[in-house]
Amino acid sequence: MLLYIHSVSLMSLSLLQVPSAVRNFFQSGGGGGDRVVLSGLHVDSSSDLARETAYKLYYQHDERQEELLTALLGRRALLAR
């Protein structure tokens, strides 16, 4: 699930997707405590593992995002005709 606020993509992820060793670096996302919010790449984090995890999760394949991009490109091609 993606939330868009001021051009920043926030990702709400299952707690199980985040290694337990770095969960404390990420904001709790509600849902009974079983979600975390990823708001970026955590480039300023002191933990190499937190930065690596944030990068991998933030840039993982998102099927919904792929669908939206494909639809956008299709509409753009129609407008260009």
pLDDT band (50, 70, 90) for residue 7 = very low
Q: How far apart are CA 50 and CA 37, in angstroms?
A: 13
pLDDT in tens, 10-21: 888 889 999 999
Query: Residue 3 burial by CB count (10 A; 0-12/13-18/19+): exposed, middle or buried?
Result: exposed
54 is written with which tokens? 């944030």
Displacement of CA 73 from its chain's centroid (Å): 22
pLDDT band (50, 70, 90) for residue 6 = very low
Backbone angles phi, psi at 78, to 5 degrees: -65, -40
